[in-house]
Structure 1
Amino acid sequence: MADNANKLPKDAFEPLSDGSHLDNERIAAPSLTFLKDSWRRLKKNKAAMISMYIVIFFVVLAFGSQLIPSVSNIATHPNLNNLPPRIPGIDIPGFNGTLVQGGQRVNAYTGDAANVHYWLGSDYLGRDLLARTLSGTRISLIIAMVATFFDLTIGVTYGIISGWKGGRVDTIMQRIIEIMLSVPNLVVMILLLLLFKPGIGSIVLVLAFTGWINMARLVRAQTLELKSQEFVLAARSLGQKPWKIAFKHLLPNLSSVIIVNTMLTIPNAIFFEAFLSFIGIGVPAPAASLGTLISDGQKSFQYLPYQMWIPAIVLSLLMIAFNILGDGLRDAFDPRTRE
């Protein structure tokens, strides 16, 4: 009787169709590549995304303004000098073309300036500060792109060769870097001024001389770690040439380090150019850069503060945006980041 009580009825089991059990092992989530997963992580970082939009905005505005004659015109108009910002349709002090004279706020756009609108004001020669600020931003971004180019060519190549070869070759290459680091960039710039005129060319030469060193050291350290990994040893065992291993195996695994360091190199190059232009050994007049605009604006800061505030705010936004974006990319490319 006990055995009959423990028996299950015949209808307790139903036969399974062929292959129906495979659905239990199916992966429902879509597969993600490394770049897609990094982009997903980056989108969750609100500060990094806002910084990316700010960078895109300035890049489009700086380079796109060349196609608009009214914005790219930086001709001098001595009769329209030192005018405050005036934006059509806005009646807010500081943006309606008024300034304080003798304790009273008066309209500065009279006479020849009655039908003129300088959205960010004009400088001591009557040049449009909006056009000059966009031109200075464009020069700063171009120099940053040149610094990025040297990082991606000289720095990455030097670091991979040094880390891959190792031994005496690595020792000699690292001693060369230490010697170059012992010479400050400002000293290199002054020495170049003895041979060349101040300008973008001299700044580019300085960046070409020392700007790639940090990238080379980071890539070398990562290469030393990666070259002992199993996938590299397998490629060497199969007889692949070193240059093919570098491009096919090392570079994809170094991409996160390269991208993050590149994003942090850009603000350093922008600040370096602005510093040189501010002290008078960078981009010469009449060309405008953010450094020269800040230098010109600080001379009349007490009476016309907008001439300094505007380029200073643009420079600060670019520096902060690139740094926050670089930090966000570092977290996005780090697979150990906890979500």
Structure 2
Amino acid sequence: MSEQADKLELTPDSFKRVGANDTDAQEKISAPSLTFFQDAIRRLKQNKAAIISFWLLAIIILISIVSIWWTPSDPNAQHVAYANLPPKIGNGIPGFTGQANVGGQLVDKYAQANVPKGTYYILGTDYLGRDLFSRLMKGIALSLLIGMLATLFDLMIGVPYGIISGWRGGHTDTIMQRIIEIISSIPNLVVVILMLLLFTPGLGSIVVAMGITGWITMARLIRAETLTLKTQEYVLAARTIGESPFKIATKHLIPNLSSTIIIQTMFSIPTAIFFEAFLSFIGIGIPAPNASLGTLLSDGQKTFRFLPYQMWYPAAAISIIMIAFNLLADGLRDAFDPKTNN
């Protein structure tokens, strides 16, 4: 070992001068700079279930928009002679042949009802001969509209209420929270039924009835976040330079509350859709002949034993919508708050 050490000689060529350019290259950040929302979208894209749910909902919403101007047939037109026809597509695809089991034998219900050649119903017809596919398109559109309008009430009432309660604090916060506790102590169903008794049943009365109590969860979440945010340095600095509470709310609080608002909105929409479906199912929701997912389920369950397809399709539609919204909401929650993954 000593002989090898003696042979090792250090010369000026054994050293390499490190230049300023090399230091800059080592300290350079190779990853692109991302904003909070860009980083959240990046994390959301890694959640496959949330992305699939997003595209499913996009397709469903697109179909709902198309149904405003076009449906295969008039969803409310009655053709009693064509009542309870099974699903049929073209010349017949397995499961969509237009045949039904009658007395142990397969019978062509379309030929039996003298349906003109080339006329068929993709999802069949109901007990009044109305096209179920057209009614399902309209029903999904109406249910989504009710869900979004009810959620809009949550935003319009819950967000300002929560910000004011959390920002003011003290006696104001105490009084506002006692009001919330009084409202939340009354069951939602009781409030909705009373509202529907006072007003004519329909889209407007259902949205108002759900909006009266639906904003409470949003208000509580926003209040809790506001109590935390108002002690942050940038908010204290804004107050020090004399900015008004309104400007602080719009410039500092609401942008930082956006993740909470978005996530809670995504949970509120399916809740409102399911609640409307429940009301229509028990007969106090959307009046006839208008179609919603609740009215379609109500009509389908009456003949479920003999004509199960009349209930399967609306049940599948509401299940897909509910699951997709909840998976997307979970994905958004994880994307905006990565700590929830731990």
TM-score (norm 2): 0.93
> Partner residue of 1:296?
299
Do 2:126 and 2:132's aligned partners in 1 also have CA atoms closer than 8 Å?
A: yes
> Partner residue of 1:103?
104
Structure 1 segments of 4+ aligned residues over 4 angstroms from their partners:
4-7, 14-18
Do 2:199 and 2:205's aligned partners in 1 also have CA atoms closer than 8 Å?
A: yes
2 CA distance for matches of 1:321 and 1:23?
46
How many residues end up aligned between the 2 structures?
A: 337
2 CA distance for matches of 1:338 and 1:214?
23
Task: Say which of 265, 268, 276 aligns to 1:262.
Answer: 265
**SS in structure 2 of the partner of residue 126 of structure 1:** coil
> Partner residue of 2:217?
214
Partner letter of residue 214 of structure 2? Answer: G
Please say if 1:199 is aligned against 2:166. Answer: no
1:16–1:190 distance in 2 versus 1, CA, 3 Å: closer
1 CA distance for matches of 2:24 and 2:340?
33
RMSD of aligned Cα (Å) = 2.0
| Alpha-carbon shift at residue 124 of structure 1 (Å) | 0.9
Please say if 1:123 is aligned against 2:123. Answer: no
Per-residue Cα deviation, 1:35-65 (whole angstroms, up to 9, x for no partner): 1111111111111111111111111111113
The 5 A counterparts of 1:84-103 are: 84-92=86-94, 94-103=95-104
1:6–1:72 distance in 2 versus 1, CA, 3 Å: farther
| Alpha-carbon shift at residue 5 of structure 1 (Å) | 7.4
Partner letter of residue 138 of structure 1? Answer: A
Do 1:80 and 1:113's aligned partners in 2 also have CA atoms closer than 8 Å?
A: no
> Partner residue of 1:70?
72
Do 1:278 and 1:295's aligned partners in 2 also have CA atoms closer than 8 Å?
A: yes
Do 1:277 and 1:291's aligned partners in 2 also have CA atoms closer than 8 Å?
A: yes
1 CA distance for matches of 2:178 and 2:229?
22
1 CA distance for matches of 2:25 and 2:93?
67
> Partner residue of 2:315?
312
**SS in structure 1 of the partner of residue 106 of structure 2:** strand
**SS in structure 1 of the partner of residue 72 of structure 2:** helix
| Alpha-carbon shift at residue 149 of structure 1 (Å) | 0.9
**SS in structure 1 of the partner of residue 305 of structure 2:** coil
| Alpha-carbon shift at residue 20 of structure 1 (Å) | 3.7
2 CA distance for matches of 1:298 and 1:102?
22
Do 1:66 and 1:72's aligned partners in 2 also have CA atoms closer than 8 Å?
A: no
1 CA distance for matches of 2:183 and 2:215?
11
2 CA distance for matches of 1:120 and 1:57?
19
Per-residue Cα deviation, 1:264-320 (whole angstroms, up to 9, x for no partner): 000110011001101111000010111111111111111111111111110111111
| Alpha-carbon shift at residue 208 of structure 1 (Å) | 2.2
1 CA distance for matches of 2:197 and 2:328?
37
Do 1:200 and 1:283's aligned partners in 2 also have CA atoms closer than 8 Å?
A: yes
| Alpha-carbon shift at residue 114 of structure 1 (Å) | 3.6
**SS in structure 2 of the partner of residue 112 of structure 1:** coil
1:133–1:69 distance in 2 versus 1, CA, 3 Å: closer
Uncovered stretches (5+) of structure 1, i.e. residues with no partner: none
Do 2:78 and 2:129's aligned partners in 1 also have CA atoms closer than 8 Å?
A: yes
TM-score (norm 1): 0.94
**SS in structure 1 of the partner of residue 286 of structure 2:** coil
| Alpha-carbon shift at residue 196 of structure 1 (Å) | 1.3
Uncovered stretches (5+) of structure 2, i.e. residues with no partner: 1-5
| Alpha-carbon shift at residue 158 of structure 1 (Å) | 0.3
1 CA distance for matches of 2:178 and 2:293?
36
> Partner residue of 2:52?
50
**SS in structure 2 of the partner of residue 105 of structure 1:** strand
**SS in structure 2 of the partner of residue 87 of structure 1:** strand
